[in-house]
Amino acid sequence: MDLGSVSLSRLICEKLLDSYVSKLAVLAVGLNSALVACDLVTCKPDPRRSLNLLVCNQPGDQRTVKLVLGGHPDLVDHTLHSTRKTRAENYKAGGIFLVSKMKFCLDVLEELIDPQKVDKIIYVNEYRLSEFDPLSLTTNILKRFNEVLASQQDLLVMALTNDPFKTLAGENFASLMQHLYLRDCQFWPTYREEVKQHLAQNKLQVDSVESS
């Protein structure tokens, strides 16, 4: 991880928060969505709400979050083994929670998370939400948060991906937008002007494949 990557993630974070609207951000291959998620989850906190959730399934993304936010006093790692009682107490106390999708689903179903206290939910590299999957976010998360999402415009949901081809394949894009109630989308390809300028200034190169 270099300083160039860090400053680019902050730029993307600022652009995403220009309007406080739940959205999907599709980053170019080679850009670090977990790094952007770390900036998003710590930026513009709502003092009325104490829960910020980073939902990460991939070990590499989890390692990035732990590396970047490891010294943050509010980080709580729920990817490690913990009892139901401990997780309930942690959620009640508030903080920034790193959690896998499966554990997040279980905690929602067991009502350990109070949706009224949620400030941000950020999904990192989640590509498909199938309503036929018994562990899908559709059946396990929106079941609990649908009413809140519909009534609280200041509850922010973000989905970040750094594989545009997988994101746009088949019904993946539509399912993410629909089932997470996302209202906007930003694309960050390597040819976007801000990215080009940043890469040139920092003499960085991001490998990408252009679609025909």
pLDDT digits (tens, 9 = 90+) for 126-139: 876 666 555 555 55
- pLDDT for position 45: 79
> What is the torsion angle, in degrees rounded to the nearest 10, for the CA atoms of residue 146, residue 150, residue 152 and residue 153?
120
Domain boundaries, the chain: 3-199
- Is pLDDT of 21 > 80? yes
- Is pLDDT of 149 > 80? no
Among 61-65, 167-171, 207-211, which range has the highest average pLDDT? 61-65
Q: Is 190 helix (H, G, I), strand (E, B) or coil?
A: coil
Residue 129: Cβ within 10 Å count = 24
Query: Closest Cα to residue 64, out of 130, 11, 16, 122?
Result: 122
- pLDDT for position 209: 42
- Is pLDDT of 142 > 80? no
- pLDDT for position 132: 57
d(CA 32, CA 61): 9
- Contacting residues for 58 by C-beta, under 8 A, at least 6 apart: 124, 125
- pLDDT for position 141: 65
pTM of the predicted model as reported, rounded to 2 decimal places? 0.85
Q: Does domain 3-199 have CATH number 3.40.50.300?
A: yes
Q: Where are the alpha helices (DSSP H) in the chain?
A: 3-16, 33-42, 59-69, 84-93, 101-109, 137-140, 142-151, 164-168, 172-179, 193-201
Burial of 197: CB neighbours in 10 Å, binned 0-12, 13-18, 19+: exposed
- Give the residue-averaged pLDDT of 200-206: 66
- Is pLDDT of 207 > 70? no
- Is pLDDT of 24 > 90? yes
d(CA 1, CA 72): 18
Tell me what the pLDDT averaged over the chain comes to: 82
- pLDDT for position 88: 96
157-191 pLDDT, tens digit per residue, is 899 998 888 888 888 888 888 778 888 999 999 88
- Give the residue-averaged pLDDT of 90-107: 91
d(CA 9, CA 4): 9
- pLDDT for position 47: 77
- pLDDT for position 72: 93
Task: Pick the range with the lowest mean pLDDT from 12-16, 96-100, 102-106.
Answer: 102-106
Task: Pick the range with the lowest mean pLDDT from 65-69, 74-78, 178-182.
Answer: 178-182
- Is pLDDT of 212 > 50? no
